[in-house]
Structure formats: C-alpha cells, structure tokens
Amino acid sequence: MNELFSIGKILIIVGLIIAALGMVLALAGKGFLPWIGRLPGDLYFKGKNFSVYFPLATSILVSIVLSVILWLIHRR
C-alpha cells in the first residue's frame, strides 16, 4: 500500500510540472517569453516545397531546467 501512495505522489508532482510547463508555453505564445523556440541553436531549413524546424537549443534548455527541478524534488 505504501508503494501505491508513493506512485500517486510522483504522478501528482509530474502532473503539476506538466501543467506549469503548459502555462509557460501558453504565456510564451502571447509574448511573455518570446525567445522560447527562437534560440540561436534551433535549426530551421526551408526548401521550395517544404520547411523543417527542429528546436535543438530549446529542447536542451528545457531538458536542463526539468532535470534541475526533478533533482531538487528527489533531493527532498
């Protein structure tokens, strides 16, 4: 029963993190964080009939931030 409580606690924390990230991204679309998705390391290729966008630097930044947050939660 204790393991089930721990899993529930982890799911709640992950859900709150996802909700917070969703709020940040929603605000970013309104100009709150205009640099998200437009960092110097983001790759964009445009051809005649197609375009490819890969937010490499943004992905790395989000990964680092989430790693620090999860490390702080786990340290507790």
Task: Provide φ and ψ at 5, rounded to 5°.
Answer: -65, -40
Question: What's the half-sphere exposure (Cβ side, CA atoms, 13 Å) at 10?
Answer: 8
pLDDT of the residue at 1: 63
pLDDT of the residue at 32: 62
Q: Answer yes or no: are the C-beta atoms of 17 and 25 closer than 8 Å.
A: no
Give this prediction's pTM.
Answer: 0.56
Query: Mean pLDDT for the chain?
Result: 83
Indicate the pLDDT class of residue 21, thresholds 50, 70 and 90. Answer: confident
